[in-house]
C-alpha cells in the first residue's frame, strides 16, 4: 500500500518524507487555507520535497474553467496530480487532462457508481471519503470494498485512494481490502507505529541492558 499524507504543511511533509514513509501528498482548498500560503508557492515547495504525485485541486466548477486552472496547476511541477471534483464537468475535465498525459485524482467520491464513472473517465486515482461517510452513520469501508470489487471485475487501472481517513483502524481496514493508496493526516500516519507492548518491551530491554554494564561499539 502506498502512503500519501493529507496536508499542505511543509514541515510535516518534510519530516515524513525524511522517514522514508511518503509516496505522495494530497491537498485540497481547505488544507491550503489551513497552511495560510499561496497555492502555487506551497505546491511547488511540496513537489520539490516529494518525488510522488502531489494532488492540487481545481476550484472552478465549469469544464472550460477547470481546464484553464488545470493548465496553471500543471505548470507548477511534473509531479502535480490534478484533482477534480466528481461532477459531470469534473469527469469531462478528467478525460481531457488524462489525454494530455497528466495524472488526475477524482475527489469527493461517496458512491460506487461515482467511482465507476471516474474509472471510465480514465482517472489515475479515485478518492472515496471514508471518514465523512462514517460521520453520516454508515460504514465508509463498505464503499472501499464495493469499488475494489467493481474495479477488479473490469480490470480498471484507476487506483483506489482511501481518503478522509481519521483513525489507524481506517488504514488497516483499507489495506486489508486492498486499496492501493491511503492518504492519511500526519498525526494518524505517525500513530501507525505505536503499540503499548513495543514501548513496554523496549523499556524492559533497556533496563536489562543497563544491568549488563556493557556498551555496543566502545
Ligand atoms: C482527500 O484528498 C481529502 O483531502 C481529505 O482526505 C479529506 O479529508 P477530511 O474529510 O478529513 O477533510
Q: How far apart are CA 188 and CA 41, in angstroms?
A: 26
**Does the 2-212 domain belong in CATH 3.20.20.70?**
yes
Looking at residue 202, its pLDDT comes to 98
* Ranges in the chain, pLDDT < 70: none
Instruction: Give yes or no: 172 in active site.
Output: no
Q: Express each pLDDT in 12-47 by its tens digit.
A: 999 999 999 999 999 999 999 999 999 999 999 999
Residue of 11, 75, 83, 194 marked active site: 83
User: Which pLDDT score, from 0 to 100, does residue 217 have?
Assistant: 86
Residue tagged 491511503 (cell numbers): 182
pLDDT value at residue 94: 98
* Contact call for residues 102 and 141 (beta carbons, < 8 A): no
Say how far apart CA 13 and CA 49 lie, in whole Å: 8
Residue 128: the pLDDT is: 98
Task: Write down the pLDDT at residue 31.
Answer: 98
Q: End-to-end alpha-carbon separation of the chain, Å?
A: 40
Sorted by where each begins, the domain ranges of the chain are: 2-212
Task: Give the residue, by CA position, lying nearest to ligand 1 atom 11.
Answer: 164
- Specify the 3-state DSSP secondary structure of 44: helix
Question: pLDDT tens-digit profile of 155-182?
Answer: 999 999 999 999 999 999 999 999 999 9
pLDDT at 56: 98
Would strands 104-109 and 125-128 be described as parallel, antiparallel, or unpaired? parallel
DSSP 8-class letter at 158: P
Ligand 1 surroundings by CB, under 6 angstroms: 6, 26, 28, 107, 127, 129, 131-132, 163-164, 183
Amino acid at each position: 500500500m502506498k502512503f500519501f499524507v493529507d496536508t499542505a504543511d511543509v514541515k510535516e511533509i518534510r519530516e515524513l518524507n525524511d522517514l522514508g514513509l511518503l509516496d505522495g501528498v494530497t491537498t485540497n482548498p481547505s488544507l491550503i487555507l489551513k497552511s495560510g500560503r499561496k497555492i502555487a508557492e506551497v505546491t511547488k515547495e511540496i513537489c520539490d520535497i516529494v518525488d510522488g504525485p502531489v494532488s492540487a485541486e481545481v476550484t472552478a466548477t465549469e469544464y472550460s474553467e477547470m481546464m484553464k486552472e488545470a493548465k496553471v496547476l500543471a505548470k507548477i511541477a511534473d509531479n502535480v496530480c490534478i484533482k477534480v471534483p466528481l461532477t459531470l464537468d469534473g469527469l469531462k475535465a478528467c478525460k481531457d487532462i488524462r489525454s494530455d498525459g497528466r495524472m488526475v485524482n477524482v475527489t469527493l467520491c461517496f458512491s460506487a457508481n461515482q467511482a465507476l464513472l471516474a474509472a471510465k473517465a480514465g482517472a489515475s486515482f479515485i478518492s472515496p471519503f471514508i471518514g465523512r461517510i462514517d460521520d453520516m452513520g454508515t460504514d465508509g469501508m463498505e464503499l472501499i470494498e464495493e469499488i475494489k470489487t467493481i474495479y477488479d471485475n473490469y480490470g480498471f487501472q484507476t487506483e483506489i485512494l482511501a481518503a478522509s481517513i481519521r483513525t489507524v483502524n481506517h488504514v488497516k481496514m483499507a489495506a486489508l481490502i486492498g486499496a492501493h493508496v491511503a492518504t492519511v493526516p500526519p498525526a494518524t500516519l505517525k500513530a501507525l507505529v505505536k503499540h503499548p507492548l513495543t514501548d513496554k518491551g523496549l523499556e524492559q530491554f533497556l533496563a536489562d541492558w543497563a544491568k549488563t554494564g556493557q556498551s555496543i561499539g566502545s
